[in-house]
Structure 1
Amino acid sequence: MDKNHNELGNDRLTETEVLETEAASPEAALIEKGTRRWSLFSSLRYAEYRYLWSGALLSNIGTWIQSVALGLFVFQLTHSEFTLGLVNFSSSIPTLFLALVGGIVADRYQRRSLIIVTQVVQMLLALTLGILISLHTANVANIIIISLVTGIASSFGFPAWLSLIPELVPKKDLLNAVALNSAQFNVARLIGPAIAGFIISLLGVAASFYINSLSFLAVIIALLLIKPPPIKIRKSEVSVWKNFTEGINYAKEHTSAAVLLICVGTLTTFGMSHTTLMPVYAIDILKTGARGLGYLFAATGLGAVTGALIVAGLTHIIPRRNLIKLGIFSYSILLLVFAFSKVFIISLLAQVGIGIAFLTTTSSINTSLQLMAPTQIRGRVMSLFVWAFMGLFPIGSLIVGSLARLIGSPPTLAIGAAVLLITSAILYFRPQLLENVG
C-alpha cells in the first residue's frame, strides 16, 4: 500500500490534466500506444481502483434498473410523453448549471468524502421513491422533486469522482483506468436494462428502486475501503468564468473545434434524447411491456460496447473525420427505422446499431478535440464537450416529450432523424469544416 501511494504521489495530476484525460473515450489509450505497451486491465492491478471499479459497476447496474423502471412507471401512471420528457429533464438539468460549481467544490473538499455524501443522498432518494410507490402515494410532483434532487447530487458527485481516479492509479495507467471506467458504465448499461424487465415482471416496479438503493452500498463500501493519499486543497487564482470563456474563445477561433462541439450537441439533443420515448414504444407501439423495454435499453448498451471495440480497431485505418460523418449518417437512418418500426426484432437491431453509431461518433469527436486543443486549455475545451454531451440532454428530452405529445412519437423521432441527416450532409458536402480533424 505504501509503495503504491509513493508512486501515486510522484505521478499525481493537476485538475486540468484530470479534465483532459477523464473526458477521453475508451480508445483514448491509443494516444499513447506508440510510447508504451498498453495492457487492457493494467489499472485493475491496483487494489483501491479495483474496489472503486467493482463498486461502480454494481451501483451503475442498479441505476440502470431504476432508470427503466422509472420510465415505465411514469408512463403507466400518466400515459403522457410530455411527462416522460419532463422527468428526464428534471434529473438532468442540474448538470447544465451545476457542473462547474461541482468542480469548485471538488477542489475545496476531500473528494472521497464528497462522493460518499452524494452516494448516500442518492441511495436514500431511491429508497424513498420505492416506498412511495409501494404505498401508492407516488405522483408526478414527488417524482419530479426526487429526480431533481438526484440530479443535483449527481452534479456535485460527478466532478469529484473524475478527480478521485488519478489518486488511485499512477499516471502511466491513468488512461487505462479512464477506459475501464467508461467500459464498466457501458457494461452496466447492457446488464441493468436486460434484467430490469424480469425484476419488474416478477417483483413489481417498487422492487427496482429498492434494488438500486441497495446497489449504492457497493460503491459506498468501496469508497470506505480505499484510502487515497491526503492532498492539499488549494484555491485556484483563476476564476471559473475566465477558464470557461477561454475555452469558448478557442472554439470560436477554430472552426473544426466549433463544428465538432455543434455535432455532439446536435447528436445529444436530436438523437440520444429519443431514449425518453422508449417506454412509449415498448408499451403502446411494440406491445412488449417491461421486458421489452429492458431489452431495448440493453440493445443500446450492447451497441455502445461494440462501438467502443470497433472504434479502437478502426482508428488507425479510417480517419476520425470519416467515422464522425459515417456515425451521424448511420444514426439518422437507424433512428428513422426505429421510429416507424412495429416489429420488435427490427427495433432491437436498430437500437444496437444506434448504440454503435452514437459511441463511434462521440468517441471520435472526443479524441479529435483532445488532440487538437493546446495543452494549456485542453481541459476547458473538453469541459465544453462534457457540457454538450450531458448538459443538452435534458433540453432534448423536453423537446422530444413536448413534440411527441402534439404530433406523436414516430413523427417526433423522424424530425430528429432529419436534423441528423441534414447535419451529416453538411459535413459530407463541406469537408473543409473538418479539415483539421485527423
Structure 2
Amino acid sequence: MSSASGDAARPRTPATNDETTTTDKPADPAARPPRGGMFGSLRVRNYRLFFMGSMVSNTGTWMQRVAQDWLVLQITNSSTAVGITTALQFLPMLLFGLYGGVIADRCNKRMLLLITQASMGLVGAGLAVVTLAGQVHVWHVYLAATLLGLITVLDNPARQTFVSEMVGQGAIRNAVSLNAANFQTARMIGPAVAGIVMGAAGAGWAMAVNAISFVGPLTGLLLMHSRDLQPGPKASRGKGQLREGMSYVRQHPELIWPIVLVGFIGTFGFNFPVILPAFASKVFHTGATQFGLLNTAMAIGSLVGALLAARRRTSRMRMVVFTAVAFGALEALSALSPSYWIFFAVLIVVGALGLSTNTMSNQTVQIGADPAMRGRVMGLYMLVFAGGTPIGSPIIGWVTETWGARVGLAVCGLISLLAAATIGMILARVAGLRLKVQLGNGGRIVALVPREGAERSDRVAAAF
C-alpha cells in the first residue's frame, strides 16, 4: 500500500511487471518521450494504435447517443424519458466513480481496458439486436444506459491513467490534449453519420455500427508492444485504499483545487445541452438545423482548444485559472448576443476556452499525482467533472425556464467566473504570491510576486 504522505508525490521508478514489460530487450525508440509539436505523441507506436482505435469507437459512441435519444423519443414521445436515460448513464459515476479509481490502481490497465471495451461492445450489440428485431421497449434502453454507466466507472480512470504508460511522464500533456481532440472530432463526425444511417436504415443500424466500432480499440490494444509500456506501481489489495486516496488529494492543494475548479465548471459552466435548445427556439426563433449548427460551433471550438493545448509544452496552474476566468466571462457575455450569427461565432471561442480549461486541468492533475495514486485521483477527477451534470442541469434548466435562456446562460458563466477567480486567489495565497500592478515608464506591468513574510507551499508555488 502506498503512502499518502508528501513523499508519495515524488516520482518513482516504474515497477517491473511480467505481464507488461521485459527487461532483457531494449525499449523501442518509439517508446521514448516524443519530440515536441502538436502531434508529438503520435510518434509512439502504442499510443498511435490507441488513438486510431479511440477515433473509431468515439465516432460510434456519438452515433449511439444520437440514435438512443431518438429511439427513446419515438417510443415514449417524452423528453423526460430522454433525460432519465442520460441520468441513468451518469448516475453510476456519481455513486461508484471513486471505487473505479481504486480498481484501476490495482489492475493491469491494458487488460482492464480490453474487458471494458469488449463489454461496451456487447451492450451496444444487445440493444441493436432487440431494436432491429422490432422488440425494443424503453426499459431495454434504460438497462443498456445503466450498464454502460457501470462499465464507464472502470473504463474512465483506466483510460485516463493508461496514457502515461504508453507515452511516459514527459508526454502526458500532449497525449491528454490529443485525446480531447480525438473526442471532439468524433463529436463532429458521429452525429452526422448517425443522421445519415438513421435516415436510410433506422436507429437500430446506427447502434449496430457503434457495436462494431469497438473492434477498433480492441484491435489497437491487442497489437500494442507490451515491452514498450511503462507501467507504474500497482496498489496492493487492502482496506482503506479509497480513504487513503481522498486523504492524499486533501494533502496536496495543487491537486484538489484544479479538481474543485473542474467541478464547478462541469456542474454549471457546461450546461449547453440545456441552454442551446432554448436559445435556438425561444431567443432566435430558429429550427432544428440552426440548433444543430450551434452544437457544431461548440464542437469546432472544443477541437481548436484541444489542438492548442497539445502545442503547449507546459501548463502552469495560473494559465488554467486565467483560461477558466476567460471562459466564464465570455460565456456570461455571450448571453447578450444580439443575433444568431454573433452568438454562433462567440460559441466557437467559448468552446475553445472551455475545452482548454478542462484539458489543462486534466494534465495538471495527472502529472502532479503519484503514479501509485493516479487511478484514485483521476477517479475523483472524473466523478467531480461528470458527476456534477445530474446536479447542475436541473438547476440551470429551472433558471432557464423561469427567467429565460439569456439569464440561464449568464448564470452559468458568472458561477464559473466567480469560482475560477476565487480558486485563483486561494492558490496564489497558498503559493505565497500577490498580484502587483505597476504603472511605469514602459507602460503597465502586471505580475505575481512573493508576499513578504508569507508562509507558502513550495509544491503549489512551483506549479503556479
Q: Same fold (TM over 0.5)?
A: yes
CA distance in 1, matches of 2:172, 2:420: 34
- Alignment map for 1:260-409 (pairs within 5 Å): 260-276=258-274, 278=276, 287-289=286-288, 292=290, 294-311=292-309, 320-321=317-318, 324-334=321-331, 337=334, 345-369=341-365, 383-400=379-396
Structure 1 match to 2:246: 245
Structure 2 match to 1:64: 62
CA distance in 2, matches of 1:89, 1:239: 29
CA distance in 1, matches of 2:300, 2:333: 20
CA distance in 1, matches of 2:416, 2:179: 29
CA distance in 2, matches of 1:408, 1:141: 33
Check 1:344–1:211 CA distance in 2 against 1; reply closer, same or farther (3 A cut). Answer: farther
CA distance in 2, matches of 1:51, 1:375: 23
Structure 2 match to 1:29: none
> Is 1:142 the counterpart of 2:143 in the alignment?
no
Greater relative contact order, per chain length (Cα 8 Å cut-off, separation 6+): 1
Check 1:69–1:300 CA distance in 2 against 1; reply closer, same or farther (3 A cut). Answer: farther
Question: Alpha-carbon deviation of 1:91?
Answer: 0.8
Question: Alpha-carbon deviation of 1:307?
Answer: 1.4
Check 1:351–1:83 CA distance in 2 against 1; reply closer, same or farther (3 A cut). Answer: farther
Question: Alpha-carbon deviation of 1:358?
Answer: 0.7
Structure 2 match to 1:156: 154
Check 1:396–1:219 CA distance in 2 against 1; reply closer, same or farther (3 A cut). Answer: same
**Higher helix fraction: Structure 1 or Structure 2?**
1
> Secondary structure at 1:394's aligned position in 2?
helix
Count of residues paired in the alignment: 408
CA distance in 1, matches of 2:403, 2:135: 31
> Secondary structure at 2:245's aligned position in 1?
helix
Which consecutive unaligned segments of at least 5 residues does structure 2 have?
1-19, 28-32, 434-460
Which consecutive unaligned segments of at least 5 residues does structure 1 have?
12-31
CA distance in 2, matches of 1:104, 1:121: 20
Check 1:402–1:177 CA distance in 2 against 1; reply closer, same or farther (3 A cut). Answer: same
Amino acid at match of 2:359: S
CA distance in 2, matches of 1:409, 1:425: 24
Q: Is the 8 A contact 1:190 1:300 kept in 2?
A: no
Q: Is the 8 A contact 2:156 2:382 kept in 1?
A: no
> Secondary structure at 1:419's aligned position in 2?
helix
Check 1:288–1:216 CA distance in 2 against 1; reply closer, same or farther (3 A cut). Answer: farther
CA distance in 1, matches of 2:257, 2:297: 29
Question: Alpha-carbon deviation of 1:406?
Answer: 6.5
Q: Is the 8 A contact 1:190 1:299 kept in 2?
A: no
Check 1:283–1:91 CA distance in 2 against 1; reply closer, same or farther (3 A cut). Answer: farther
Deviates more, 1:299-308 or 1:415-424: 415-424
Amino acid at match of 1:337: S
Question: Alpha-carbon deviation of 1:57?
Answer: 0.8
Question: Which one has the largest radius of gyration?
Answer: 2
Check 1:347–1:142 CA distance in 2 against 1; reply closer, same or farther (3 A cut). Answer: farther
Amino acid at match of 2:389: F
Structure 2 match to 1:180: 178
CA distance in 1, matches of 2:263, 2:346: 22
Q: Is the 8 A contact 1:304 1:356 kept in 2?
A: yes
Question: Alpha-carbon deviation of 1:74?
Answer: 4.3
Question: Alpha-carbon deviation of 1:203?
Answer: 4.2
> Secondary structure at 1:235's aligned position in 2?
coil
Deviates more, 1:47-56 or 1:366-375: 366-375
Question: Alpha-carbon deviation of 1:353?
Answer: 2.1
Question: Alpha-carbon deviation of 1:233?
Answer: 7.1
Equivalent of residue 88 in structure 1, options 83, 86, 89: 86
CA distance in 2, matches of 1:414, 1:171: 39
Could you give the per-residue CA deviations for residues 360-395 of structure 1, whole angstroms, max 9, x where no partner exists? 322344455567778887776555433322332333
Q: Is the 8 A contact 1:200 1:208 kept in 2?
A: yes
Equivalent of residue 96 in structure 2, options 84, 95, 98: 98
> Secondary structure at 1:38's aligned position in 2?
coil
Amino acid at match of 1:354: V
CA distance in 2, matches of 1:8, 1:344: 63
CA distance in 2, matches of 1:109, 1:372: 21
Question: Alpha-carbon deviation of 1:269?
Answer: 0.5
Structure 2 match to 1:20: none
Deviates more, 1:237-246 or 1:78-87: 78-87
> Secondary structure at 2:226's aligned position in 1?
coil
Amino acid at match of 1:63: T
Question: Alpha-carbon deviation of 1:270?
Answer: 0.7
Check 1:163–1:353 CA distance in 2 against 1; reply closer, same or farther (3 A cut). Answer: closer
Amino acid at match of 1:226: M
> Secondary structure at 2:36's aligned position in 1?
coil
Q: Is the 8 A contact 2:197 2:206 kept in 1?
A: yes
Instruction: Give % identity.
Output: 26
CA distance in 2, matches of 1:281, 1:77: 27
CA distance in 2, matches of 1:375, 1:221: 26
CA distance in 2, matches of 1:75, 1:331: 33
Q: Is the 8 A contact 2:93 2:387 kept in 1?
A: yes
Check 1:172–1:271 CA distance in 2 against 1; reply closer, same or farther (3 A cut). Answer: closer
Q: Is the 8 A contact 2:157 2:375 kept in 1?
A: no
Check 1:77–1:271 CA distance in 2 against 1; reply closer, same or farther (3 A cut). Answer: farther
Structure 1 match to 2:446: none
Amino acid at match of 2:297: A
Q: Is the 8 A contact 2:269 2:413 kept in 1?
A: yes
Question: Alpha-carbon deviation of 1:301?
Answer: 2.5
Structure 2 match to 1:213: 211
Q: Is the 8 A contact 2:85 2:142 kept in 1?
A: yes
Check 1:354–1:265 CA distance in 2 against 1; reply closer, same or farther (3 A cut). Answer: same
Could you give the per-residue CA deviations for residues 212-241 of structure 1, whole angstroms, max 9, x where no partner exists? 122112222333333535989772457323
Check 1:282–1:147 CA distance in 2 against 1; reply closer, same or farther (3 A cut). Answer: farther
CA distance in 2, matches of 1:373, 1:356: 26
> Secondary structure at 2:413's aligned position in 1?
helix
Question: Alpha-carbon deviation of 1:92?
Answer: 1.5
Could you give the per-residue CA deviations for residues 267-311 of structure 1, whole angstroms, max 9, x where no partner exists? 10012133256566667876443x555544333232122113444
